[in-house]
A and B are shown apart, each in its own frame.
Chain A
């Protein structure tokens, strides 16, 4: 079944210059492999639909079941130059919560929260 990332992982973003790092943390160990396989750097960048201008590098941090996505050119030239209202990009970590993942049906009881939109099968 398809679920949004929000149901298997939590996220936080941080800023440095014109780079935003968006870290994704699996709620459970078994969710981590699904993230590894499906949430590639390419798909991550594509999901931001042009809001990330530069390269996205994915760092695997297996000891804490996390991935760190380092997104260059995501902060409008740097925090102080950024014309965006959220010039630190503190809310950018919420975008990826809507990314769709294919997960086994028997995970239904382990997923966090409730389905976020119509059409999800769980």
Chain B
């Protein structure tokens, strides 16, 4: 058994940079490189796209680019890959990896695909209540496009135990991607909640990539970071007891400090003593965070409680559309022109009988980001964009927003800056709802292929 396992993050979200992953693969002396590429609505959006675009196979759209960037180094160093890039089609992701491996001359490499997360067809019979509003899940029957269970680390461990060098999953809880290699390497039992909690905490710290190495952190004069244009992705050196040191490659920008680690520890956490994952309930309130070297932070003492008897299901529903656009003012009186432009738009929406569930018109430069929380004392901006968005039931209604902004070009206010529309100004709303299912109603499966 290894004394220390080195895990790196290959991506913290779908759009993440690729070159830091390549650097980690080359120079990180990694045992594992893990990729997290999904947001809450990723699966549902992929389902919608797959229905309309037959050429879309259903895995991470950057899969090939990411694999080509890291595979040669991973093969050279024996680094295994765990990745949720399978989205709605882990088998296709595995097939793509096998094809690239063969092209690279690497034969006999085992690639696993984990299925079982998608339960769209039976979710309404398996679940009762929507967690967010207490309504029966049956009320989603008309609009439901996808339902997926958040699987845990166990099926990934199973794949690694069977010798997989690369594992693709669909929906898995993000920390589980990183916990699984630790369970496999250290032989942790799936009911050992203390160690699983520590491993899940490490996964939680790594799952957003550079957010623990100086990303989403720089605040000049308060939190300064070196070379913020070249942030290294994180590496965790984990020991058998589940404590770790978070670090990064020496020649990269960014930093790993108690501050970056603490900020990430609470990122997207509600009750810090009860962070629920499919594997365990994590208690961060006992964690000890210590700087033990330059860009090296030790995390120990995380504790845990047994996992809950249920798993979370995420249900995506087609709920309508958002139409949005913006136009611009600058110079003396800019805000006053923006204000009358808002009045013009609201009157125009009445004239064209815009049927909207909600309309929002902001002054970007003054209150578009903080909204109602903007202080009264905020200074008047020199430049301001009028940004308008409306949520509607139909695409036709949402299109009216952009069409009315078009009218502001020659029928609007003096000194109106305007873009010729170069993109679709309507997006589809995929609302996400949650429910719980019994653990034993979901069976994950591992299928193995070889390059």
The reply to whether A91 and B263 form a contact with Cβ atoms under 8 Å apart is no
The reply to whether A91 and B370 form a contact with Cβ atoms under 8 Å apart is yes
Measured between beta carbons, the chain A residues less than 8 angstroms from B432 are: 17, 78-80
Measured between beta carbons, the chain A residues less than 8 angstroms from B266 are: 12, 14, 21, 23, 61, 64, 66, 68
Within 8 A of A (CB), among B269-308: 269-273, 284-289, 301
B212-239 vs A, Cβ < 8 Å mask (1 yes, 0 no): 0000110101110000000000000000
In the complex, A49→B367 CA distance in Å? 12
Measured between beta carbons, the chain B residues less than 8 angstroms from A64 are: 258, 262, 265-266, 284, 287, 289
Measured between beta carbons, the chain B residues less than 8 angstroms from A15 are: 268
Q: Does B19 contact A (CB under 8 A)?
A: no
In the complex, A80→B42 CA distance in Å? 11
The reply to whether B373 and A63 form a contact with Cβ atoms under 8 Å apart is no
Number of interface residues of A (CB under 8 A): 45
Instruction: Mark the stretch among B119-127, B152-160, B358-366, B440-448 that contacts chain A.
Output: B358-366
Within 8 A of A (CB), among B77-113: none
Q: Does B396 contact A (CB under 8 A)?
A: no
The reply to whether A59 and B272 form a contact with Cβ atoms under 8 Å apart is yes
B34-62 vs A, Cβ < 8 Å mask (1 yes, 0 no): 00000111000000000000000000000
Q: Does A51 contact B (CB under 8 A)?
A: yes
Q: Which residue of A lies closest to B316 (CB)?
A: A80
Residue B263 contacts which of A10, A49, A78, A86 (CB distance < 8 angstroms)?
A: A10
Residue B430 contacts which of A51, A65, A80, A94 (CB distance < 8 angstroms)?
A: A80
Residue A48 contacts which of B264, B265, B359, B373 (CB distance < 8 angstroms)?
A: B373
B314-328 vs A, Cβ < 8 Å mask (1 yes, 0 no): 000001001010000
The reply to whether A80 and B429 form a contact with Cβ atoms under 8 Å apart is yes
In the complex, A64→B259 CA distance in Å? 9
Count of A-B contacts judged by CB separation below 8 Å: 137
Q: Does B132 contact A (CB under 8 A)?
A: yes
Instruction: Mark the stretch among B162-170, B183-191, B333-341, B386-394 that contacts chain A.
Output: B386-394
Measured between beta carbons, the chain B residues less than 8 angstroms from A79 are: 39-41, 432
The reply to whether A78 and B431 form a contact with Cβ atoms under 8 Å apart is yes
The reply to whether A85 and B387 form a contact with Cβ atoms under 8 Å apart is yes
Q: Which residue of B lies closest to A61 (CB)?
A: B272
In the complex, A59→B271 CA distance in Å? 7
In the complex, A117→B429 CA distance in Å? 40
Which of B219, B262, B358 is packed against the most chain A CB atoms within 10 Å?
A: B262
Q: Which residue of A lies closest to B362 (CB)?
A: A85
The reply to whether A25 and B369 form a contact with Cβ atoms under 8 Å apart is no
Query: How far in angstroms is the closest Cβ of chain B from A96?
Result: 9
A13-56 vs B, Cβ < 8 Å mask (1 yes, 0 no): 01111110101010000000000000000000001111110000
The reply to whether B132 and A18 form a contact with Cβ atoms under 8 Å apart is yes
In the complex, A79→B358 CA distance in Å? 15
Query: How far in angstroms is the closest Cβ of chain A from B333?
Result: 24
Number of interface residues of B (CB under 8 A): 56
Measured between beta carbons, the chain B residues less than 8 angstroms from A21 are: 266-270
The reply to whether A10 and B223 form a contact with Cβ atoms under 8 Å apart is yes
Query: How far in angstroms is the closest Cβ of chain A from B430?
Result: 5
Contact A81:B431 (CB < 8 A) given known A14-B269, A63-B286, A112-B222 = yes
Q: Does B371 contact A (CB under 8 A)?
A: yes
Within 8 A of B (CB), among A93-119: 94-95, 98, 112-114
Q: Does A3 contact B (CB under 8 A)?
A: no
Measured between beta carbons, the chain A residues less than 8 angstroms from B221 are: 112-114
Which of A17, A59, A64, A66 is packed against the most chain B CB atoms within 10 Å?
A: A64
Q: Does B129 contact A (CB under 8 A)?
A: no
The reply to whether A85 and B270 form a contact with Cβ atoms under 8 Å apart is no
Query: How far in angstroms is the closest Cβ of chain B from A2?
Result: 14
Q: Which residue of A lies closest to B378 (CB)?
A: A98
Contact A47:B373 (CB < 8 A) given known A10-B259, A59-B272, A68-B266 = yes
Residue A16 contacts which of B268, B324, B358 (CB distance < 8 angstroms)?
A: B268
In the complex, A25→B289 CA distance in Å? 13
Query: How far in angstroms is the closest Cβ of chain A from B132?
Result: 6
In the complex, A49→B369 CA distance in Å? 14
Residue B319 contacts which of A66, A81, A113 (CB distance < 8 angstroms)?
A: A81
The reply to whether B263 and A23 form a contact with Cβ atoms under 8 Å apart is yes
Measured between beta carbons, the chain A residues less than 8 angstroms from B216 are: 12, 90
In the complex, A94→B374 CA distance in Å? 11
Q: Which residue of A lies closest to B368 (CB)?
A: A85
**Apart from A63-B284, A79-B39, A86-B369: 18 A-B pairs, beta carbons within 8 A:** A16-B40, A17-B432, A19-B270, A21-B267, A23-B266, A49-B374, A51-B370, A63-B285, A63-B286, A65-B262, A76-B358, A81-B429, A83-B359, A83-B390, A84-B360, A95-B373, A112-B222, A113-B221
5 pairs of residues in contact across A and B, judged by CB atoms under 8 Å: A25-B262, A61-B272, A83-B359, A85-B369, A113-B222
Q: Which residues of A pack against B, CB within 8 Å?
A: 6, 10, 12, 14-19, 21, 23, 25, 47-52, 59, 61-66, 68, 70, 76, 78-81, 83-86, 90-92, 94-95, 98, 112-114
